[in-house]
């Protein structure tokens, strides 16, 4: 008779699947154990074939995710007497999204098929008004001072009171981990989906609770999910978040996206990356034309973007939203400049780029494209002030190696052409 390996039985929602995947990545772990996952929606899988009933009733280790709902298991009658048990909490983070609302209305805000219906209570209220255009919605939303409407300190305390209360019902605790790390590390994609760093920490705590090995390193890049809800600039500043800044990009969920094992594949299924203001504009359907596209559409796209730029220039939001607005305007100006280049009127883009602050390396492509165009026209005197002002910013701290190579090419081009007459 073949003796089965000990079974590690994991129950919970999608967070349990993350623990299941992490366990399978531990070198040699599945040689000694069968790892089984039982999703609360009924899905079951295991590292080796085994019936779900047998896996549950014979498991050596039972890991259960707990929420405020009653456990579906009568553990005393189902589990073997010598089964070692541990529980962990359902991880949520309303802390970073105080405006969050479960938005069931058909707005295109990361809500394909009414799944993952993330919404913003202020924005949803504005969108429900038939008398407001998308432009007016953007203007009114960006002028809201949320700190005058929400006590963020009390919101912080109430959140941790809830997490600590749930911790009293579990063996592995979440509140100390979140409290110690939420300012320094990106722990959640949205209110209910934790990133690899916190899931790895939780899984390690659970395995150590049992005395099981957890000796491996896994990529902790939190930027591998189809969606990351944007952090409001006022929330970022109030909580002194170090992992997000005015230039941070947030992934907008694609209607055709499907999730993959982020630990094994790291695939990103999203409909683009957006800064905070661009994300909100995308939310309300205002900037679908923000990408440079087919030539015949360029004049219409330029007009639409110019209208949006004009509206944004009239907004006087409270800080630090004002810096987010500047970043948004930079993005629009560089996109319009690229459109002008493709329309054969690059000189019009020249004036726009002289107004760009160039505080983010994402503008390198548009800058290099315009510089190449103007260099071909011998207009290097126009270029030098742009480049000098760019070099005076702190953008170089955030440059990748590819972007640094681009900058060297740019400077070499200028050095070769600055002595040429215009």
The residue among 108 and 195 whose pLDDT is bigger is 195
pLDDT for 332 equals: 81
- Highest mean pLDDT among 5-9, 334-338, 413-417 belongs to 5-9
Work out the pLDDT band at 364, boundaries 50, 70, 90: low
Work out the pLDDT band at 235, boundaries 50, 70, 90: very high
Classify strands 7-12 and 34-39 as parallel, antiparallel or unpaired: parallel
The residue among 357 and 26 whose pLDDT is bigger is 26
The residue among 221 and 421 whose pLDDT is bigger is 221
Neighbours of 253 (CB within 10 A): 23
Report pLDDT digits (tens) over 369-418: 666 666 666 665 666 666 666 566 555 555 566 656 666 666 666 665 44
The residue among 356 and 239 whose pLDDT is bigger is 239
C-beta separation of 370 from 292 below 8 A: no
C-beta separation of 211 from 6 below 8 A: no
At residue 266, does pLDDT exceed 50?
A: no
- Highest mean pLDDT among 179-183, 202-206, 225-229, 361-365 belongs to 179-183
What class has domain 7-92+154-210?
Answer: alpha beta
pLDDT for 190 equals: 84
The per-residue pLDDT of the chain, averaged, comes to: 76
d(CA 79, CA 92) in angstroms, rounded, equals 28
d(CA 193, CA 209) in angstroms, rounded, equals 23
Q: List the domain boundaries for the chain.
A: 7-92+154-210, 321-422
pLDDT for 277 equals: 85
What class has domain 321-422?
Answer: mainly alpha
Q: 316-325, 342-351, 369-378 — which is least confidently predicted?
A: 369-378
Domains 7-92+154-210 and 321-422 alike in fold: no
Above pLDDT 70, what percent of the chain? 66
Report how far Cα 210 is from the mean position of its chain's Cα atoms.
33
């Amino acid at each position: 008779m073949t003796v089965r390996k000990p079974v590690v039985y994991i129950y919970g929602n999608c967070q349990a699947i993350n623990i299941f995947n992490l366990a399978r990545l531990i070198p040699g772990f599945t040689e000694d154990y069968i790892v089984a996952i039982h999703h609360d929606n009924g899905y079951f899988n295991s590292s080796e074939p085994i019936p779900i009933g047998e896996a549950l009733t014979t498991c050596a280790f039972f890991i259960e995710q707990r929420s405020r709902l009653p456990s579906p298991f009568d553990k005393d009658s189902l589990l073997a007497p010598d089964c070692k048990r541990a529980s962990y909490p359902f991880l949520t983070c309303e802390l970073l999204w105080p405006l969050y609302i479960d938005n069931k209305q058909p707005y295109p805000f990361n809500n394909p098929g009414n799944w993952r219906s993330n919404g913003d209570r202020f924005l949803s209220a504005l969108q429900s008004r038939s008398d407001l255009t998308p432009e007016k919605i953007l203007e009114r939303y960006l002028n809201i001072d949320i700190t005058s409407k929400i006590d963020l300190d009390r919101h912080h305390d109430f959140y941790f009171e809830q997490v600590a209360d749930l911790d009293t019902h579990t063996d592995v605790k979440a509140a100390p981990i979140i409290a110690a790390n939420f300012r320094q590390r990106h722990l959640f994609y949205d209110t209910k989906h934790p990133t690899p760093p916190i899931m790895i920490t939780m899984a390690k705590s659970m395995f150590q609770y049992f005395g099981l090995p957890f000796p491996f390193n896994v990529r902790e890049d939190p930027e591998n999910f189809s969606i990351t809800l944007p952090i409001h600039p006022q929330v970022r500043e109030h909580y002194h978040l170090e992992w997000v800044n005015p230039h941070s990009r947030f992934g907008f969920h694609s209607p055709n996206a499907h999730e993959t094992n982020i630990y094994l594949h790291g695939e990103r299924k999203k409909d683009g990356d957006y800064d905070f203001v661009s994300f909100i504009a995308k939310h309300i359907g205002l900037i679908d034309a923000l990408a440079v596209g087919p030539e015949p559409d360029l004049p219409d796209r330029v007009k639409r973007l110019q209208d949006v730029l004009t509206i944004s220039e009239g907004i006087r939001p409270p800080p630090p939203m004002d810096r987010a607005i500047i970043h948004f305007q930079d993005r629009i100006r560089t996109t319009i400049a690229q459109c002008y280049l493709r329309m054969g009127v690059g000189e019009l883009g020249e004036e726009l780029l002289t107004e760009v602050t160039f505080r983010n390396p994402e503008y390198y492509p548009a800058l290099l494209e315009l510089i190449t165009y103007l260099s071909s026209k011998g207009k290097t005197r126009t270029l030098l002030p742009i480049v000098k002002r760019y070099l005076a910013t702190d953008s170089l701290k955030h440059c990748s190696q590819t972007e640094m190579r681009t900058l060297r090419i740019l400077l070499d081009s200028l050095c070769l052409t600055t002595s040429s007459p215009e």
